[in-house]
Amino acid sequence: MRRRLHPAASFVFAALILLFTGGPVLLSLYGSLVPDRILFSRDRSILTEGPNFETYRYIFTGQLPDSYQQESANRAMISDAARQVPQSLVNSSLNALAAMALNLILGAPAAFVFARYIFPGKKLSFMYLILSPLVPAVALVTPIYMMLQWFGLLGTQLGIILVHTAKALPFTVLILSVFFRKIPAEIFEAAVLDHCSRFQTFFRIALPLALPSVGATGLFAFMISYSEYMFAMVLSGNAQTRPVSVVMAALARNTDVSWSLLNAGIFIAIVPTLVLVVLVWRFVVEGLLGGAVKG
């Protein structure tokens, strides 16, 4: 007989996980609402001074905070890279959404074929697809750079989308193929008896049953694209196409930058992922339980 974990112990473990995952987000929010002179003061806090939105105002409008408009103020603490955060946020969101859509459009049918059908070279191609992420990304930067340059896609969002799609596709195929294998074969046999083609079997039977796993893999494909830095840095062009990961790295490299401004940029950058997680959380949990764990 299995012994259940004590409710108090469950609460403690859940609190620790919440603190570990949500703590940095709350700290970034707090740091973005408090000027540096208060952030490093022991006598003053956000409770005594109230929240300050000057750094957000500067990021979205370019208006300098009042404290930096005074004489002898250290203007080096205000980085111009922060002004690129809104546009880069839009760029990264579009890149990630497009990479997620392409991953599901290409990965779901491929996973279904690998899971339910036998064809020449199946094992070799599946092994190649799954082991391809083991190749170090730094070894692929130069060949991919030259290839995109030859196709005229260097410095474009389309080039970054294609690279991010290829980066997340093996994971999508692996997770969805595991789920498709767990669907009882009798369901597909009944579809054949009802004169369903392979195309109809996939879209009318397999795909609806796999929606939880599709939501989970789509979310992870979004995360991979949104947070990817190396290829985004090498392949991105000017500020109009630069992703948020590159902009945040440039902002963080400024050793004199205001902590309040840096935290504001960090919090703005993680908002799309927080929104997406809230929207598809139910699908993520069901997908992980139903598609990746045998029970």
Residue (of 228, 93, 106, 128) closest to 172 by Cα position? 106
- Write the CA distances from 233 to 132, 218, 273, integer angstroms: 21, 23, 20
Domain boundaries, the chain: 7-76, 82-291
CA distance between the termini of the chain: 17
What does the pLDDT profile of the chain (295 residues) look like in tens digits?
Answer: 456 666 777 778 878 887 887 788 888 888 888 877 777 777 777 767 778 888 888 888 878 776 666 655 555 567 777 888 888 999 999 999 999 999 999 999 999 888 888 888 888 888 888 888 888 888 889 999 999 999 988 888 899 999 999 999 999 998 898 888 888 888 877 877 777 777 888 888 888 888 878 888 888 899 899 989 889 988 887 778 889 988 888 888 777 778 888 888 888 888 888 887 777 666 555 555 554 444 4
Q: What is the pTM of this model?
A: 0.82
Q: Whole-angstrom Cα distance, residue 277 to residue 266?
A: 17
- Of 95, 266, 89, whose CA–CA distance to 167 is shortest? 95
Question: How many C-alpha atoms does 176 have within 13 Å on its Cβ side?
Answer: 34
Cβ 55 vs Cβ 32: under 8 Å: yes
82-291 CATH choice from 1.10.3720.10, 3.30.565.10, 3.30.1180.10, 3.40.50.620: 1.10.3720.10
